[in-house]
Amino acid sequence: MRSVLISMLACFTACGPSIEPLELPADPAAQGAPVGVQTFELSDLTLEVWYPATDATADQTGELVDADPFVPAAVVDLLVSVDLPPIDSYAVRDAELRNTGEPLPVVLFSHGFGGFRTQSIDYVQHLASRGYVVVAPDHPGRMMGDILPCLFDSLVDDCNVDLDDPGEDDLPDALDVVERWNTQAEGFFEGRLDMDGVGLAGHSAGGMSTASVGDVDARFTALMPMTTNGSLTRDVPVLYAVGSCDATVPVAESVEAYAPIPDGRWLSLTGAGHLSPTNLCDLDLGGFAETLLAPRDDVNSVWLDQLVALATDGCPQDAPQLVLDDCPDAFWPLDESQAALRHYATVFFDEQLRGEGTLEDAGLSGAVLD
């Protein structure tokens, strides 16, 4: 019996996942560990989850993010074909979860109007590389696939825009799922998640969801709304990120929404547009509209103009719609604005969820933190 116990103890030590502590670059915007990604299809939720992976993953090629599955079949049939460019990613599908030797902090991400759960791959995979588990639900009712049919006279019945905020249900439900995962026997994340404090971030309409859900759900202890006019009054740490050349949500609206926040920090990305926290510019939706949509006589021109304005706001290949003294004819390059977001998001969540570092020490050229 004693030999059996010794063998079991030896296997527990040797057979379990070996500990690979995070060794992170000093630059908060630099990638840390390799990243894994999985998709979880639940009865009423679809979740994309990014997480730090083992060092063995470093030699594997990340999968490209394909937006085509988010285009409804009815739209594809009508246009004969839709072939959106893929988005680069270094996240490896179904990679092994890294055992850092301590529970991993969690951040939920909420996509914007006309977006989808993988729209901000640069942002979410970066946080995962820095040791976070990032969970992004789709929000049916404001996804690309819900909105595209609205453009066509013959597909009006497939138009599925929800004017209420689906994130107000989806985000708490997603967090319920994550809490269950952490206690699920032999589950992928069993006992590996730090649920004492959870971050919540979102872009545009997802920023409004971040504010509204974060205002009432105390499980979320650090909030990062981006390019939005969502507001809240709960005393919770907030990093409120805007682009100074955002034509979709003017800075004046964001300033008004930010004013009543008790514990807020203001981050302005000088010269950045509305889509700067996303990778949607990689899809060249402006070119897609010009080539495949504008020539058609069955397209609702009002919807088309509005959606093209939204889909190009912040894209370097498209001229800014908002012309001010500090954004006369070109956006701040996306690689720079995205690096700034990676930088400040990492420092903010490290400060609030890990108790490491402070935003006061996180100055960066091209971004203004107040």
For residues 89 and 317, the model is more confident at 89
Q: Give CA–CA dist 251/207, Å, rounded.
A: 14
- The whole-angstrom distance between residue 134's C-alpha and the CA centroid of its chain comes to 8
Cβ atoms of residues 362 and 369 within 8 Å: yes
Domain ranges of the chain: 34-369
Taking domain 34-369, whether its CATH number is 3.40.50.300 is answered by no
Alpha-carbon distance of 63 to 90, in angstroms, equals: 7
pLDDT of residue 9: 36
The pair of structure tokens assigned to 27 is: 């630059």
Q: Answer yes or no: is pLDDT of 16 > 80.
A: no
Please tell me the pTM assigned to this model: 0.93
pLDDT band at 203 (very low <50, low <70, confident <90, very high): very high
Q: Is 265:359 a contact under the CB 8 Å cutoff?
A: yes
pLDDT tens for 33-82 read: 999 999 999 999 999 999 999 999 999 999 999 999 999 999 999 998 88
Cβ-Cβ contacts under 8 Å for 360 (sequence gap 6 or more): none
Confidence of residue 6 (pLDDT cuts 50, 70, 90): very low
The band of 11, judged by pLDDT with boundaries at 50, 70 and 90, is very low
Q: Looking at per-residue confidence, does 15 or 39 come out higher?
A: 39
Position with higher pLDDT, 139 vs 303: 139
Which of 73-77, 210-214, 314-318 is most confident?
A: 210-214
Task: Give mean pLDDT, residues 212-235.
Answer: 98
**Strand blocks (E) in the chain:** 35-41, 46-52, 91-93, 104-110, 133-137, 193-203, 220-226, 238-243, 264-269, 367-369
> 63, 93 in Cβ contact below 8 A?
yes
DSSP state at residue 340: H
Question: By C-alpha distance, which of 203, 223, 174 is closest to 110?
Answer: 203
**Residue-level pLDDT at 3:** 46
- State yes or no: pLDDT of 270 exceeds 50: yes
327-340: pLDDT as tens digits: 756 677 899 999 99
Position 185 scores a pLDDT of: 83
Instruction: Assess whether pLDDT exceeds 50 at residue 262.
Output: yes
Q: How many residues does the chain have?
A: 370
Contacts made by residues 327-335, CB under 8 angstroms, sequence distance 24+: 327/244, 327/245, 327/271, 330/271, 331/245, 331/271, 331/272, 331/273, 331/276, 332/243, 332/245, 332/269, 332/270, 332/271, 332/272, 332/276, 332/366, 334/276, 334/281
Per-residue pLDDT averaged across 114-139, rounded?
Answer: 98
> Could you read off the pLDDT of 271-288 as tens digits, one per residue?
899 999 999 999 999 999
Is the pLDDT confidence value at 304 over 50? yes
